Amino acid sequence: MNFNKAIIIGRVTKDPETRTTPNGQTVASIGVASNRVWNTNNGEKQEKVEYHSIVAWGKLAEICGQYLTKGQLVLFEGRLETRTWDGQDGVKRSKTEIIAENMQMGPRPRSQEEGSTYQANQNNQVKEEPAQNNTSQNQTNEQTPKNISNDDEEIKIEDIPF
């Protein structure tokens, strides 16, 4: 059995680029940066940033273009796919991308629509969920990112095992 699955949690590096193919299909290109932090043997903190190219198609692409913004925390689940082409200089080039199948949006940056998260699915349903105001000083208003997929099952960041 073969298995090709990628799950990326990171921040959107720039606003998604959405376009329509000649046959009318919507496609979005999204850049996501994730980082890894570790300590070396002598206790020195190290950090490495990885940049990922995400491609979303159809309704998911439309949702990405409408709701994702630079700096927003996002989770993408999909498959790795490498495409190759001949460059203008005649050199064969290749690029590995994540073809998105599901997306989970984190809260928007505070400067935009503070307190709202969005839940959507592939069935053209998008709904805004305003944050609940909590007057207790001991509790914070933490927003749980919402799952965007073919089903409405919610995935919570704290449930992801890494």
Which tokens go with 57? 């198609």
Residue 121 lies in a domain: no
Residue 61: pLDDT band (50, 70, 90) is very high
With a CB cutoff of 8 Å and minimum separation 6, the contacts of 123 are 59, 150
Tally the domains of the chain: 1
Q: What is the pLDDT of residues 79-138, one digit of tens each?
A: 999 999 999 999 999 999 999 999 999 876 665 545 455 544 444 445 455 444 443 333
* Both structure tokens of 18: 């959405």
In a domain? residue 149:
no
**What is the tens place of the pLDDT at every residue in 13-33?**
999 999 999 999 999 999 999
Share the mean pLDDT of the chain: 79
Q: Are 145 and 117 in contact (CB under 8 A)?
A: yes
Q: State residue 107's pLDDT score.
A: 77
> For residue 16, is it within any domain?
yes
Q: Which pairing describes strands 45-57 and 73-86: parallel, antiparallel, or unpaired?
A: unpaired
Residue owning tokens 């989770």: 75
Residue 141 has pLDDT above 80, yes or no: no
- Residue 62: inside a domain, yes or no? yes
pLDDT at 146 over 60: no
CA distance linking residue 153 with residue 19, whole number of Å:
29
Answer yes or no: is 12 within a domain.
yes
Residue 56 pLDDT greater than 90, yes or no? yes
Taking the C-alpha atoms of residue 104 and residue 92, their distance in angstroms, rounded to an integer, is 34
Classify residue 125: in a domain, yes or no.
Answer: no
Q: Is 20 part of any domain? A: yes
CATH number for 74: 2.40.50.140
- Domain ranges, residue 33: 6-113
56: tokens are 């979303």
Asked if 84 and 93 touch (Cβ cutoff 8 Å), the reply is yes
Average pLDDT over residues 63-68: 94
> What is the pLDDT, as a whole number, of residue 112?
52
